[in-house]
């Protein structure tokens, strides 16, 4: 079906389960959730009938629109791998209504000019709110702090700063960044990778790397930086966010830091919740990622850390790469995997279907907490009357075999190709306007 997309269209969603709870009706109108429950159908009748689309929500779960704290959109500079338009179409298809766009573009997003460009392109595309992440250091060079304040004051209102892809390894610069971002309630999101311990690293250092002869990336290279940074955050009273935490030791350090009252949050990716370094035995570079896939014990610890709240959010680290950068021998291939269109399904399989999570927990880690950490007032909101109609309707009973060729991302480097995963996004609404309608991307104004 083709859904009307004019802003005046109202949507009556019947029999849907908010956060997996008792089925109810939701009326979405004028950009907000206009009514919930018994009032919704009546309120819908009071509106002009021509404007009303009725969505059968039976069997669907309503969640606040998903928020990704960690997306690579590649524009400007690598539009052959992804653009802001294709990346946000991919986001919408995965149920995301906001994505934080990492700064490792070309040019690097280290000035007010570049972050404003990214923000504008996202607004013009219209599929999801694009929240630019500002680089911590000029050109991701690790030598001089970038203009953090100018990026914070720009139209893009940057609050999250990261050199992702590179670690801010100079402790003095890291300290200054943690201090400086306090002035505008910013957060420093660290890619924890001790560079000297990971020179030439190709995969997790352990039994598998030794057996197949690829240079190892030891767990301690991640853990040493996280340990240092939580102590720095404590010392200066700054806000630290640990990106794509991947080892059992990292979970322990973050747990310790939180118990100590340090202002730290952490994210885990879907792939570190599901996949292990055993996959590298295939030498298929689709499994090459930074930080690397770890052991089954690490995966279990990351799941446990997410379940007990040590890890605050799931973030995709959607890292699209052009074919020539992945379809080559392992050591020459780029690090990274796509993830926007599979994240919710992986979280369902690993955390919900296993009994570790309720759907309210899913909303917490994929919407409420990432919105809070990123300082987004209009995302991750309760599903209540008067709140923005920025929601996703998801069918947890559907099953699908992942086919990257059908994805909306411009890149195809999904590690789940051929795998059967649960669930399907049926509708995504951004301020009352569908970006996905009945399982298909909807045309949006400006796109
Ligand atoms: N996560 C990844 O494997 N890749 C990221 C950056 C990075 O190396 O972290 C990318 O930009 O491709």
At 3, is the pLDDT very low, low, confident or very high (cuts 50, 70, 90)?
low
User: Both 105 and 116 in a single domain?
Assistant: yes
Determine the atom of ligand 1 nearest the C-alpha atom of 193: 9
Centroid of ligand 1 to alpha carbon of 336 (angstroms) = 5
* Catalytic-labelled residue, pool 317, 325, 361, 395: 317
Residue nearest (by alpha carbon) to ligand 1 atom 2: 336
The answer as to whether 4 is a domain residue is no
On whether residue 3 sits in a domain, the answer given is: no
In a domain, 254, yes or no: yes
Residue 285 and residue 431 share a domain: no
User: Quick one: three-class SS letters along the chain?
Assistant: CCCCCCCCCEEEEEEEEECCCCCEEEEEECCEEEEECHHHHHHHHCCCHHHEEEEECCCCEEEECEEEEEECCCCCCCCCCCCHHHHHHHHHHCCEEEEEECCCCCCCCCCHHHHHHHHHHHHHHCCCEEEECECCEHHHCCCCECCHHHHHHCCCCCCEECCCCCCCCCHHHHHHHHHHHHHHCCEEEECCCCCHHHCCCCEECCHHHHHHCCCEECHHHHHHHHHHHHHHHHHHCCCEEECCCCCHHHHHHHHHHHHCCCCEEEEECHHHHHCCHHHHHHCCHHHCCCCCCCCHHHHHHHHHHHHCCCCCEECCCECCCCHHHHCCCHHHCCCCECCCCCHHHHHHHHHHCCCCCCHHHHHHHHHHHHHHHHCCCCCCCCCCCCCECCEEEEEEEEEEECCHHHCCCCCCCCCCCCCEEEEEEEEEEECCEEEEECCEECCCCCC
| Cis geometry, peptide bond prior to residue 76 (ω within 30 degrees of 0) | yes
Atom number of ligand 1 nearest to Cα 337: 3
The pLDDT, as a whole number, for residue 49 is: 61
Instruction: Examine the pLDDT at 50 and tell me if it is beyond 70.
Output: no
Work out the average pLDDT over 32-53. Answer: 89
Nearest Cα to Cα of residue 347 among 335, 334, 333, 365: 365
Q: Say if residue 31 is in the same domain as residue 171.
A: no
pLDDT for residue 58: 98
pLDDT in the model for residue 1: 45
41 part of a folded domain: yes
To the query of whether residue 284 is one of the catalytic residues in this protein, the response is no
Which of 82, 108, 289 to mutate to test ligand 1, by most ligand atoms within 8 A of the CB atom? Answer: 289
Question: What does the mean pLDDT of the chain come to?
Answer: 97
Which of 11-15, 40-44, 66-70, 353-357 has the least mean pLDDT? 40-44
Of 315, 344, 374, the one marking the end of a domain is 374
Instruction: Enumerate residues lining ligand 1, CB below 6 A.
Output: 72, 104, 164-165, 191, 289-290, 317, 319, 334-336
Q: In testing the pocket of ligand 1, which one of 101, 321, 336 has its CB within 8 Å of the most ligand atoms?
A: 336
C-alpha closest to that of 170 among 136, 211, 142: 142
**How does pLDDT run across 115-168, given as a tens digit for each residue?**
999 999 999 999 999 999 999 999 999 999 999 999 999 999 999 999 999 999
How many structural domains is the chain composed of? 2
Q: Is 379 annotated as belonging to a binding site?
A: no
Does residue 421 share a domain with residue 369? no
> Could you tell me the pLDDT band of residue 445, with boundaries at 50, 70 and 90?
confident
Confirm whether residue 191 is marked as ligand binding.
Answer: yes
Q: Is 271 annotated among the ligand-binding residues?
A: no
Residues 242 and 340 in one domain: yes
187 and 324 together in one domain: yes
Tell me the CATH number at 424. 2.30.40.10
Tell how far the Cα of 291 is from the centroid of ligand 1, in angstroms: 8
pLDDT tens-place string over residues 384-410? 999 999 999 999 999 999 999 999 999
Burial (CB < 10 A; 0-12, 13-18, 19+), residue 46, is exposed
285 is a domain residue: yes
pLDDT tens-place string over residues 237-248 = 999 999 999 999
ipTM beyond 0.90? yes
Residues 57 and 69 in one domain: no
| 447 lies in some domain | no
Ligand 1, atom 6, residue with closest C-alpha? 165
CA of 164 to the centre of ligand 1 (A): 7
Residue that terminates a domain, selected from 374, 397, 423:
374
148 and 55 in a common domain? no
Q: How far is CA 171 from the centre of its chain?
A: 27
Do residue 140 and residue 164 come from a single domain? Answer: yes
Pair 98, 48 in one domain: no
Indicate if the pLDDT at residue 292 is higher than 90: yes
Q: Same domain for 272 and 409? A: no
Kindly report the backbone phi and psi dihedral angles of residue 104, in degrees, each rounded to the nearest multiple of 5, phi listed first. Answer: -80, 55
383 marked among binding-site residues: no
Say yes or no: 298 and 337 in one domain: yes
Residue 1 lies in a domain: no
Domain residue limits at 73: 65-374
Q: In whole angstroms, what is the distance from residue 100 CA to residue 395 CA? A: 25
> For residue 447, is pLDDT > 90?
no
List the CATH number of the domain containing 331. 3.20.20.140
**Domain ends where: 374, 408, 433?**
374
Alpha-carbon distance values, 172 to 95, 139, 418 (Å): 39, 18, 46
Closest CA to ligand 1's atom 9? 165
Distance 407 CA to ligand 1 centre (A): 20
Q: How many CA atoms lie within 13 A of 85 on its CB side?
A: 9
Residue 243 lies in a domain: yes
The pLDDT of residue 295 is above 60:
yes
Ligand 1 atom nearest the C-alpha of 335 is 3
pLDDT band of residue 51 (cuts 50, 70, 90) is confident
């Amino acid at each position: 079906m083709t859904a009307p997309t004019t802003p005046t269209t109202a949507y009556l969603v019947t029999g849907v389960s908010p956060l997996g709870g008792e089925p109810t009706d939701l009326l979405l109108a004028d950009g907000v959730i206009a009514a919930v429950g018994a009032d919704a159908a009546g309120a819908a009748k009071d509106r002009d009938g021509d404007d009303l689309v009725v969505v059968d929500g039976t069997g669907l779960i309503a969640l606040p629109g998903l928020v990704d704290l960690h997306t690579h959109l590649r524009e400007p500079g690598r539009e052959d791998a992804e653009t802001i338009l294709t990346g946000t179409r991919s986001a919408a298809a995965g149920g995301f209504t906001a994505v934080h766009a990492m700064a490792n573009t070309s040019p690097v997003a280290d000035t007010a000019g570049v972050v404003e460009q990214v923000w504008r392109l996202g607004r013009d595309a219209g599929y999801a709110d694009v929240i630019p992440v500002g680089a911590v250091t000029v050109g991701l060079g690790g030598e001089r702090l970038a203009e953090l304040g100018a990026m914070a004051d720009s139209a893009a209102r940057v609050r999250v700063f990261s050199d992702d892809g590179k670690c801010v390894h100079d402790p003095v610069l890291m300290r200054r960044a943690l201090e400086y971002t306090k002035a505008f309630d910013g957060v420093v999101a660290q890619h924890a990778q001790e560079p000297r311990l990971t020179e030439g690293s190709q995969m997790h250092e352990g039994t598998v790397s030794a057996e197949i002869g690829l240079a190892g990336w030891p767990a301690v290279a991640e853990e040493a930086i996280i340990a240092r940074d939580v102590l720095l955050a404590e010392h200066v009273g700054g806000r630290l966010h640990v990106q794509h935490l991947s080892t059992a030791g990292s979970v322990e350090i973050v747990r310790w830091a939180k118990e100590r009252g340090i202002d730290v949050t952490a994210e885990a990716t879907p792939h570190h919740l599901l996949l292990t370094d055993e996959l590298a035995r295939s030498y298929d570079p689709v499994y090459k990622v930074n930080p690397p896939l770890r052991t089954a014990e690490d995966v279990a610890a990351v799941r446990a850390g997410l379940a007990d709240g040590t890890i605050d959010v799931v973030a995709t680290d959607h890292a699209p790469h052009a074919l020539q950068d992945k379809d080559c021998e392992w050591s020459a291939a780029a690090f990274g995997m796509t993830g926007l269109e599979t994240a919710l399904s992986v979280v369902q399989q690993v955390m919900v279907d296993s009994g570790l999570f309720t759907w309210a927990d899913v909303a917490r880690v994929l919407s409420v907490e990432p919105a809070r950490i990123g300082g987004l007032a209009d995302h991750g909101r309760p599903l209540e009357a008067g709140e923005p109609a920025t929601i996703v309707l998801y069918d947890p009973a559907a099953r699908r075999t992942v086919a990257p060729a059908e994805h909306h991302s411009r890149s195809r480097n999904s590690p789940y190709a051929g795998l059967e995963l649960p669930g399907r996004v049926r509708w995504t609404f951004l301020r009352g306007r569908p970006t996905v309608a009945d399982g298909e991307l909807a045309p949006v104004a400006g796109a």
